[in-house]
Every structure is written in C-alpha cells, then in structure tokens.
Structure 1
Amino acid sequence: MGLTRFVLKRPVATVMALLCLLVFGISSVFSATLEQMPDTDQPMLIVSASYSGAGPEDVDELVTQPIEDKVSTLEGVKSMSSSSSEGRSMVMLEYDYGTDMDEAYSDLTQSLDGLDRQLPDDVETSVMEMNNNAGSTMMLSISNPAKEDLYDYVDQTVVPLLEQISSVTDVEAMGGSSEYYRIELQSDEMAQYGLTMSDITSAMSSANLSYPSGDAVSGNLEFSVSTSLENDTIEALMQVPITTAGGKLVYL
C-alpha cells in the first residue's frame, strides 16, 4: 500500500524514475563490450624450442619427446599437448586451476635448465604464458569434392606457404584424411626368417633418412636444408632391406 500511495501522490517523480531506469538500461546494453575470447587467467605455459634446419620427424624425436619426458612430472600439470614442425617444437602445459603460476613458471624454467645436455647443441628453448588476447587466430575452410587427396595437398602445399609468413606463429591442418599404405605381414614367413614385428618396424624406420644439413641463403631469403630419403611409394617399400636372424638380407 505504501508504494501505491507514493505513486499516486507523486506521478511525475514516478514517471521520471521509470524513464531514468529505461534510459540507463538501454545505454548500458549498447555500451557493454562483447568479446569472443574474454581476458581470462588461464593456467597454461608453453615451451617453445627452435632447431634450425631440422625436419618435423627429427624435431619430434630429438626435441619434443625429451621435453615432454622432462616436464610431464612437474607438480600441478593437468594435461600436456605438443606439435612438431619444420625447425620448431611447441609443448603446451595446462595446470590445475588455483596453481601459483609464478611458482610453476620457475619450476618449469629450472627443469629446462637441466635438459640442455640432452638436446642438440643448437636448440634454443623459451617459456611463454598463455594469453588469449595476445594474438589472433584465423580459420580457413578449403573444400573440393572432386579432389580425393585434398588433405595431403593442404598439408604439404598450403600449410608450408602460410608458415612462411613472418607474423604467423603456428599453422595446423585439421579434418580430411591422408593417403596411406597398409602392410600385411605373413606369419609363416616371419617365423621362417626368425623375424618379429619390431624387427620389420625398425627396418622400415631405418630406411627413412632425414637430418638437418644447415641453411642456404639466397638474396634476402634464408632456407633450411635437410637431407632426406623417404619410401613413400609401393615400389620403394618393396625394396626396404630387412636383415634376418641368420644374417640373410630379404626385402619387404
């Protein structure tokens, strides 16, 4: 009753109050900022390492995996993911919420200091904090129903071109499927030659050669040079040499 009596006695004041609420409400709605990626304090640290001239396979084996083995035991690490590309490795560590990130940063840098002896001499590592507002992300969608090996084309042609842009830090291809060969082993012949699955896997891995050979400069451009030999055709795979338990050489 008190509110009703106040409204009836002071209609002008009531109308002005409602108008003020309406004006300030509309003003606050249109002046509010909207962000796709709000500024949040994510408990995440990134270990970045550069290995000039090395291919993705060498970077993964010689740099990424040793870093993963070293930092996976740190306290507070919730999950870990990594990526290896031409001359570059990136390991992302996600910590539990509530973790003291200053202490986590200190522990991570100390752990990496003891890793220098296990990495190649010319590998340089650095630690960065994750910040959604520190950079921008662009997503490109590519489709061509008539092209069966579209993923391979994007991964081998489009991605390297985008990685050459100086302001781009990382390029990742998703979706699609890559062409592959399936090798079926004959158990009777494996037993005849005294071979195991690991023997054949090791022989196939040894047949693929890839290691950094330095840099080449042409004008204002600097290129990473690597020596590689890949068995990526049926004919090449059939010629992969395998040494049997008796020292005899057979082919895949």
Structure 2
Amino acid sequence: MFLTRFSLRNPAALFILTLLVAFGGIYAGAQLKMETMPDVSIPILSVISIYPGASPEDVEEQVSVPIEKAVRGLDGVKNVYANSVEGVSVVVLEYAFSKDLDEAKREVEEALANVALPDAVKPPSVSRLSFGSFPVAILTVSMPAEKAHKLAATVNESLVPALRSIPGVAAVEASGLPPKTVLIRLKPDKLKQYGFTASQVVQQLQANNLTFRWARRTWAASIIRSASGTPLPPSTNSRPSTSPFSPTRRRRWRKG
C-alpha cells in the first residue's frame, strides 16, 4: 500500500527511478565480457605415457595398471579410466567440480614420482582439459611450391619461436609443412656380414619411431567422451594397419 500511494503522489520520482534502473541495466549489459570460447575448467586430468614398441597388453600391465593404482586413492578422484594401445597409455582422472585442478595436478605428479615404470617408458605427461586451450588464432603462410622446404625452415626456426615468445601464448604448433625425410641405402654385403635382412631393418626403424604427437591429439579429443563412460570412437587416422588404436585395452575404476 505504501508503494502504491507513493507512486500515485510522486509520478515524476517514479519516472526518474525507472529511467535510472533502465539505463543502469543497459550500461551493465554493455560492460559484460564475452568470449567465443570461455575458459571453463573441466574437472578432468589426463596422464599420457609413451612406451615405444610395447603391445597393448604390456602397456596395460606395466604402465596403465601401476599408474591407475597410484592415482585412484588421491583426494577428490571420482573415476579413473585407463586406455592402453600399442605404445601409448592414457589414464583419465575425473574429479568433482569443487576440486582445485592445480592442486590435483601437483598431487598426481607427486604420485607418479613414486611409480616404478619400465626404463623404456617416456616420463608421463599430466595435462588439464580446458576450452581455453583450443586454438584462438590460425595463421596461413604460403610460398611457391619449389620453395616448400625453405618455407618449413622459416616457419619452424623464425615464425614459431617468435609467436611463442609473445606474453600469454601457451602453445604454438605448425601443421601442413612438408615432412622431413631421411633416405637410407642398405648395403647387401654388410647386411649379409652381420646376418640381417632388409625387412628386419625396416621393422627396427618402425619399432623405434617415437613420433606419437598424432596419437596424443587423437586421445585429447576423446577425453571428455571417455570420462563420460561412452565408448571411444574408432581412430580416424589414415594409417591402415599400423594404427596403435587397434586393438585397445580399456579399464575403469569408480570410487565407492
């Protein structure tokens, strides 16, 4: 009743108050920050380990299982998903949204320091999944086809380091460059002398190929789907029979 009587007796004051509220709302809305890809912290950590040449079974028994046992007892861990493929182990930890992921990452790294892994295993990499880590800028550089290798050298030696030195830039990657190739000529007499065949040399080169960056990207794109419990999609990599994602060994641990 008081507000009704006040409004009827003071229409000018009510009009001014309405204008103040309206303009205040418009000003506040204009000041709100908007981002195409806001930095949303997803409570997921991934532990990626590279075990060159190991079968999925060996990766599971010697890498994935020890890591899983070491991290599943950490504070705040809800679920642990372990995926083991040829030469690669990916262990995904799911936390509650209230968990501080910086603290969680330190705890995981401390736990991994006490895990005994085979000597051939590369140091495990612990990373967070965040929408803010997706590319925010894509640059294209071109040059005549006959200068492709010069372009690759310019990008890798000059452009990429310059972009990485910019404050606030987390990572810079170059793609689409001509691959580096090494030509190996075999001497039949030397092969015969040491008791090797050409196929054995090829197998050794393939077994010691440590270029796993494409595998890390494929797994990074599948972390959310894996943590939700849905099956991982088959690899879309164009490599026919050498894809390490077939066969795959999967494990899941749920708290409680």
| Higher relative strand content | 1
Q: TM-score range by the shorter chain?
A: 0.3 to 0.5
The higher-RCO structure (CA 8 Å, 6+ apart) is 2
| Higher relative helix content | 2
TM-score, structure 1 as length reference:
0.43
Q: Which has the larger radius of gyration?
A: 1
